[in-house]
Structure 1
Amino acid sequence: MKKKVFLVDVIPTDTSPEKMKSRMDELENLITTYGGLTIVKKYQRKAIPDYKTYVGAGKLEEIKNQMKIEGCELLIVGNTLKPQQIFNINENLRSINAQAWDRIDLILKIFEAHAKSTEARLQIELAAIKHMGPRIFRMGMDLSRQGGGIGTRGKGETNIQIMKRHIRESEKKIIKKLEDHKKTRKLHRQSRKNKNLDTVGIVGYTNAGKTSILNKMTKKQSKPENKLFATLGTTVGKLWIQKDDFSGKEILMNDTIGFIQDLPPQLIDCFSSTLEDSIFSNILLHVVDSSDSRIKEKIGVVDDILEDIEANQERIYVFNKIDKIDNNQLQNLKKEFKHLDPVFISAENKIGLEQLKQKIIELI
């Protein structure tokens, strides 16, 4: 049975209605991907978030009462909260047997559900430790006061030390294991280089159709899903391109995690080893959903993240899903994004794939 979710998004007072809607739509998509059911959603315009509860004491009480009436067991705050804020909110919700997550908690839960490889699971565990650690320290401070006050050797103080040590040790072990995966990945890249195998990294906003493109172009059988973050690890397929002189070339294509707006830096850091395959690819395919109403914004999000991870090689903009738009929309896109020199395709219907292959071989 799906969890009933109360969703609240706190936004700056000057946020446009379009931006408000796009943020809420994405949050709802995240909840759907997780497996929850949004029962109530609310916006709150607030110039400065409340120091103690982010939403403010009065608003939190209002939310709690409505959650009780609607039978909601989970409150999602569509922002990144400080440890003290999420702790205080959860303390308040205990009386109705409900709990609260912030946006990072929700994304981590989705990552956890979709992680298949050992490396992806380790990366998620590391991200969770980095996100949850400060909260545990906050709880430990409360225990310390209960155990005899600051400066004493009460039970609470001992608990703080135990939790800190456990977190540090766990983090070190995970980082060591990830370093081993990183070394293996580097060896694989060197092996490909020695064999003169070129690589193409497939990147893009989550749910843009990257996996479908990989499948159609390489005969890979990865299962594309209509969910955010359906791909967490790196999937590799082989593309054979026939040249005009009847010679051919084998190229490796890497499908990696999809990006999202306001993706927290610690999540990008924790997935850096997975994203390395994109950083070290010869070229990048930046996949865009042609039917998306927020194309320009999402292209900007992906470009910014690629800049952050220093993936600055040549890229081909691939406008996918043209089967979902009419000819007028297609012509408008061609005109608006002419400066990107994009290739327009439908991976689902195998439209434009030969043109894309030709562009790849030209750049390679």
Structure 2
Amino acid sequence: MIHRFSIVFSFLVHMKPWTSLNISRPYEHRNENTIFRSESDGLGILINSLSMKTIIVDIAPRNIKTEDLEARMTELESLVSTYGDTVVVKRIQKRDTPDYVTYVGTGKLDEMIAAGEELGAERIVIGNILKPAQIYHINEILRERKSKIQAWDRIDLILKIFDQHAHSPEAKLQIELASIRHMGPRIFGMGMELSRQGGGGSGAMRGLGETNTEIMKRHLRDHELKIIEKLEKYSRTRSEHRKARKRKNLKTVGIVGYTNAGKSTLMNTLTHKGVLAEDKLFATLGTSVGKMMLQRKPHTNAETWKNSQICRENGASEGAVRDSTVNEEAEIGTQSWHFNMFPVLVNDTIGFIRDLPPELIRAFSSTLEDSIEADILLHVIDASDPKVLDKIDIVDTTLSNIGATQPRIYVFNKIDHMSELAILMMWEQFAELNPLFISAVSGRGIEELKERIGEMVE
């Protein structure tokens, strides 16, 4: 039993990312309760040899809307593609209650395993967060059949994507912390399951699962505390930087939004920083800070006179006052306006996604601090997304949960993918948000966005 538990623990802790360069388009077959997708034979579809073939599956209530069903599976398929795998089987089972033991039910699991074995799949990804005993039972069934297929849930997949995109030491620590918080309850649950399975034997056998569980829990807890201590150092450093910015009266703008809404592209457009911007989920994991220059509000000759009065009150000679006034009027010229530029810092950070557990969000709290503490937020939205309303709600709810309550600008991005009529209809739908419509790629609407930011932070 100790050996079997060690196998389980090794599987959980040592899974490594795989990458690929190409994604194939699968063939779809539908029946009343199931959507089935498999590779189409003989149609010239090529799968990159570095890409692992993956089965994706989820269950949904019987009364779910078709568009919601498709959106859920499309997002799951996008996550798999972002990780670098190729989806070869795609199934949704309509049932109101998940199976207590295997989530999808033994019969449906048998079908998936058979289809996966036939197509050479190496992974099953389940589009929800599974209970510890459920993921244990699924992998135990796979091991008993000597299958090379491994089972992950949705959070396992997201964490693996995070791991691929973690480049800074802080980001890597946050991934480690999130993994511990996800795996901890799972290891405890598996230990309890092993203990129950040993219930028919001696007292010594019954205690094996519990003993291993306690050892692992203690190890994970100690490691978690060490990671938290290291992350707190990063947090203190970031806090000192924010204090220094406030002393210099530097305003900050935080870019937030659903993953793949175009946040990093907007960051590049505003700051010319050169942040990695890809058409992938979670392309940005840490925080990137850039500087944007904005124009101050212009002032008139009356304000020039006021400035000269301030000079006199401060004891300046009439000659110095006259020189100051002449210089300022020369800059104003015949337009009677004087333009100054001032810097604004812009923070780009990790995107949000539906059903991300609070404990995982808290693992990234140090990264999210800059956005929480920003003077205003740019909530970037993919205007071309058919589920735009749901994703706005997910981001706003997440921001509320992490304590981000500052003013925000709703920035509807990617309008270069939309018709003028569609843009007008969307503006009318979301008029109460006072939205701005832009294309971070073409630059349309960017100057108006800068003006709005300047009005709010100056």
Is the TM value for this pair above 0.5? yes
Does 2:268 align with 1:215? yes
The 5 A counterparts of 1:195-234 are: 195-234=248-287
Deviation at 1:134, TM superposition (A): 2.2
Percent of matched pairs sharing the same residue? 55
Cα distance in 2 between the residues matched to 1:333 and 1:154: 61
2:10 is aligned to: none
Deviation at 1:161, TM superposition (A): 3.2
One of 279, 284, 304 as aligned partner of 2:377 = 284
Work out whether residues 182 and 360 of structure 2, in 8 Å CA contact, stay in contact via their aligned partners in 1. Answer: no
1:112 is aligned to: 163
Does 2:116 align with 1:63? no
Cα distance in 2 between the residues matched to 1:158 and 1:310: 40
2:24 is aligned to: none
Cα distance in 2 between the residues matched to 1:60 and 1:71: 16
Q: Deviations over 1:302-343 (max 9, x none)?
A: 111111112111100111111111111111112111111111
Q: TM-score, normalised by structure 2?
A: 0.77
Give the 3 Å change call, closer, same or farther, for CA 282–264 of structure 1 in structure 2. same
Deviation at 1:197, TM superposition (A): 0.5
**Structure 2 unmatched ranges of 5 or more:** 1-49, 299-337
Cα distance in 2 between the residues matched to 1:61 and 1:354: 57
Cα distance in 2 between the residues matched to 1:164 and 1:80: 20
Cα distance in 2 between the residues matched to 1:258 and 1:187: 25
Deviation at 1:178, TM superposition (A): 1.0
Give the 3 Å change call, closer, same or farther, for CA 40–156 of structure 1 in structure 2. closer
Rg larger in structure: 2
Give the 3 Å change call, closer, same or farther, for CA 335–66 of structure 1 in structure 2. same
Does 2:446 align with 1:353? yes
Cα distance in 1 between the residues matched to 2:362 and 2:61: 27
Instruction: State the secondary structure of the residue aligned to 2:53.
Output: strand
Instruction: State the secondary structure of the residue aligned to 1:192.
Output: helix
The 5 A counterparts of 1:270-349 are: 270-349=363-442
Cα distance in 2 between the residues matched to 1:30 and 1:254: 24
Cα distance in 1 between the residues matched to 2:209 and 2:257: 47
Q: Deviations over 1:104-155 (max 9, x none)?
A: 0010000011111111111111111111112222343455565965567966
Cα distance in 1 between the residues matched to 2:419 and 2:207: 70
Work out whether residues 133 and 193 of structure 2, in 8 Å CA contact, stay in contact via their aligned partners in 1. Answer: no
Cα distance in 1 between the residues matched to 2:366 and 2:246: 18
Cα distance in 2 between the residues matched to 1:58 and 1:208: 38
2:347 is aligned to: 254
Once the two structures are overlaid, the 10-residue window that deviates more, 127-136 or 19-28, is 127-136
Cα distance in 1 between the residues matched to 2:289 and 2:110: 50
Instruction: State the secondary structure of the residue aligned to 1:169.
Output: helix
Give the 3 Å change call, closer, same or farther, for CA 320–149 of structure 1 in structure 2. farther
Deviation at 1:239, TM superposition (A): 0.7
Does 2:56 align with 1:2? no
The 5 A counterparts of 1:186-197 are: 186-197=239-250
Does 2:264 align with 1:171? no
Give the 3 Å change call, closer, same or farther, for CA 190–149 of structure 1 in structure 2. farther
2:11 is aligned to: none
Once the two structures are overlaid, the 10-residue window that deviates more, 181-190 or 133-142, is 133-142
Work out whether residues 276 and 284 of structure 2, in 8 Å CA contact, stay in contact via their aligned partners in 1. Answer: no
Deviation at 1:6, TM superposition (A): 0.7
Cα distance in 2 between the residues matched to 1:171 and 1:231: 24
Cα distance in 2 between the residues matched to 1:12 and 1:194: 54
Once the two structures are overlaid, the 10-residue window that deviates more, 38-47 or 62-71, is 62-71
Cα distance in 2 between the residues matched to 1:149 and 1:181: 50
What is the aligned residue count? Answer: 364
Q: Deviations over 1:43-86 (max 9, x none)?
A: 11121111111111111112111111121110011011000000
1:34 is aligned to: 83
Cα distance in 2 between the residues matched to 1:149 and 1:8: 39
Q: CA RMSD in A?
A: 1.7
Cα distance in 1 between the residues matched to 2:423 and 2:207: 69
Once the two structures are overlaid, the 10-residue window that deviates more, 92-101 or 27-36, is 92-101
Work out whether residues 284 and 349 of structure 2, in 8 Å CA contact, stay in contact via their aligned partners in 1. Answer: yes
2:335 is aligned to: none
2:326 is aligned to: none
Instruction: State the secondary structure of the residue aligned to 2:231.
Output: helix
Cα distance in 1 between the residues matched to 2:220 and 2:252: 38
Give the 3 Å change call, closer, same or farther, for CA 297–152 of structure 1 in structure 2. closer
Cα distance in 1 between the residues matched to 2:257 and 2:216: 38
Cα distance in 2 between the residues matched to 1:139 and 1:213: 44
Cα distance in 2 between the residues matched to 1:211 and 1:48: 39
Cα distance in 1 between the residues matched to 2:116 and 2:206: 41
Instruction: State the secondary structure of the residue aligned to 2:276.
Output: coil
Deviation at 1:160, TM superposition (A): 2.9
Deviation at 1:180, TM superposition (A): 1.1
2:317 is aligned to: none
Q: TM-score, normalised by structure 1?
A: 0.96
Cα distance in 2 between the residues matched to 1:11 and 1:81: 14
Cα distance in 1 between the residues matched to 2:206 and 2:436: 67
Cα distance in 1 between the residues matched to 2:278 and 2:217: 39
Cα distance in 2 between the residues matched to 1:292 and 1:121: 31
